[in-house]
Amino acid sequence: MKILILGAGQVGGTLAESLAQEAFDITLVDTDGERLHELAMRLDIQTVEGSASHPDVLRKAGADDADMLIAVTSSDEINMVACQVCYSLFRTPMKIARIRAAAYMEKEEFFHKNHMPIDRLINPEAVVTSQIHELLSHPGALDVADFADGRVQLVAMKAVHNGPLVGHALSFLREDMPSVDTRVAAIFRRGQSILPRGETVIEAEDEVFFIAAREHINRVMQELRKAEQAYKRITIAGGGNIGARLASEIENQYAVKVIELDPARAKTLADRLHNTVVIQGAATDRELLLEENIEQCDAFCALTNDDEVNVMASLMAKRLGCRQVITLITKPAYVDLVQGGEIDIAISPQQATTSSVLSHVRKGDVARVHSLRRGAAEAMEAIAHGDSSSSNVVGRKIQELKLPDGVTIGAIVRGEDVLIAHDDVIVETDDHVILFMVDKGKVAAVERLFQVSLNFV
């Protein structure tokens, strides 16, 4: 598959990197020649320097036979024009664009092919915001992903000594809460994955991934660590796009404070937010944090656009007694350095973007993809098609499926129903199957499994 990526910024660069690793043909377009050169040295991609929306530049980049366009330049308008140009001049079948301004989203029909021909919109800031929002509503979770419109959730969390399940085999789950159905999809112990079986014993510090219906998630979480108090006081450091968005989403649920350095921006925020206390000052200022009673704070979200500031502010907040810190980190190299130490959760915006693009580049019918563990693992919502003769999955019991090693099926969503994937569940056509892969290398095998064979027409 030939993919054209416009814009070699943070998002474009990471996308190019992760897609190139999956053996797609990537062409990257940007006006910054140096940045392109730097990426081309590192990755197996083609680069074109020039204005991303100009037809001649796009033609040079191979728009004529590209299968997909991903427009992620910093300008909404360039992204839109590029999609329009590719639609009108090159008939590119799939066009994905990043649109950040909420003003364009007013009417859904606007992005129809008769008006502004964009097939999929991505908005990384919105994705990151909703991810943080989910984490805040599930105290103790390291990662939360929605599947099937939020009916099923995948949650990652660290097991703690006081959890009832810790020290017991997984089969104990059944006995302890017979009314709740869940499936443990993976367990990582000291960075190594172990295949969860009924007799596997959970240890403290294990990173456990489980899948359950949305309403059961909190109950399952209590098995792994004693019931966490719901968050009340939230402090957000950095009132940029993500910080402001998050604050306005949660300000009526929690007591929210936003710390913003720039006085003018702080004023704008205070005008826009109605239930939030806006503090003007540096998030790394110890006196300021103390003055604002950081020790009483339940969750501290460091969301400035500066990784170093985020890390330092988070460390300080944690040291001063804040219960949980969530830190936004854009440099992938930093994520592994900090997560799991004093910083509880590191969020990478690239991972969120990659996730939202990945579902469109996957072969077969994939509704959603969620990258986990810094892109090493992946959860996927695939849709089964065909019948027992044309498909390798439909009409078969889960235990009969020839799943590659390290791949587990967590749940099946059939219409409105959520079925937790026990061995004897039979897959039907149009089922949404939620799979978990501890290793992304297995993606191709899974795709093959879900493809309908050729005699099905």
Partner 1 sequence: MHFSVIFRVTGTLLTFFSATFVPPMLVALYFQEQTLHTFSIALAVTLGVGLALWLPLRGDRELRGGDGFLITALFYLGLGVFGAIPFLLAPNLDLQLVDAVFESMSGLTTTGATVLVNLDDMPKSLLFYRQQLQWFGGMGIIVLAVAIFPMLGIGGMQLYRTESPGPVKDNKLTPRITETAKALWYIYVSLTVACALAYWAAGMSLFDAVSHSFATVAIGGFSTHDASIGYFNSALIESVASIFMVLSGINFGLHFLVWRRKNPLLYFADYEVRTYLLVLLFVSVTVITLLFNAPMDVESPLRKGIFQTISYATTTGFVTADVSGWPSSAAMLLLLAAFAGGCAGSTAGGIKLVRVLMIYLQGMREVRRLIHPNGVFPIKLGKTPVSDRLIESVWSFFSVYVLLFFLSVVLIMLVSELDFLTAFSSVGATLNNLGPGLGEVALNYAGLDASVKWVLMFNMMLGRLEIFTLLVLLTPAYWRR
CA dihedral (424, 406, 218, 242) positive or negative: negative
CB of 249 to partner 1, least distance (A): 16
In angstroms, the CA 22 to CA 35 distance is 22
**Six token digits for residue 383:** 């849709």
Q: How far is the CB of 259 from partner 1 (least distance, A)?
A: 8
Beta strands 182-189 and 192-194, pairing class: antiparallel
Whole-number minimum distance, CB 323 to partner 1, in Å? 21
Pairing of strands 68-71, 152-158: unpaired
Q: Is the Cβ of residue 45 or residue 266 nearer to partner 1 in the bound state?
A: 266
> Residue 293 Cβ, how far from partner 1 at the closest point, in Å?
10
Minimum CB distance to partner 1 smaller for 263 or for 321: 263
By beta-carbon proximity to partner 1, the closer residue of 91 and 267 is 267
Q: How many CB atoms lie within 10 A of CB 443?
A: 21
What does 115-183 look like in DSSP terms, one character per residue? TS--SEEE-HHHHHHHHHHHHHHSTTEEEEEEETTTTEEEEEEE--TTSTTTTSBTTHHHHH-TT--EE
Q: Which is nearer to partner 1, 281 or 364 (CB)?
A: 281
For residue 7, what are the CA distances in angstroms to 13, 191, 270, 356, 453?
8, 34, 33, 17, 37
Taking Cα atoms as reference points, which of 27, 24, 29, 26 lies closest to residue 7? 29
Least distance (Å) between residue 152 CB and partner 1? 37
Phi and psi (nearest 5°) for 119? -80, -40
Q: Which amino acid is at 328?
A: L
Q: Which tokens go with 183?
A: 């499936």
**CA pair distance 280, 292, nearest whole angstrom:** 11
Nearer to partner 1 (CB atom), residue 18 or residue 280: 280
Q: Which residues bind partner 1 (CB under 8 A)?
A: 260, 263, 266-267, 269-271, 274, 277-281, 288, 291-292
Provide the minimum distance between the beta carbon of 58 and partner 1 in the complex, in angstroms, as a whole number: 44
The residue (of 263 and 441) whose beta carbon lies closer to partner 1 is 263
Nearest distance from residue 102's CB to partner 1, in Å? 17
Q: In the complex with partner 1, which residue's Cβ is closer, 233 or 442?
A: 233
Shortest spacing between CB 108 and partner 1, in angstroms: 25
Which residue number, 121 or 282, has a Cβ lying nearer to partner 1?
282
Q: Closest approach of Cβ 318 to partner 1, in Å? A: 21
Q: Which of 61, 69, 103 is nearest to 88 (CA)?
A: 69
Nearer to partner 1, 257 or 323 (CB): 257
DSSP secondary structure letters along 42-96: HSS-EEEES-TT-HHHHHHTTGGG-SEEEE--S-HHHHHHHHHHIIIII--SEEE
Pairwise CA distance, residues 39 & 36, whole Å: 5
Residue with tokens 């020039």: 50
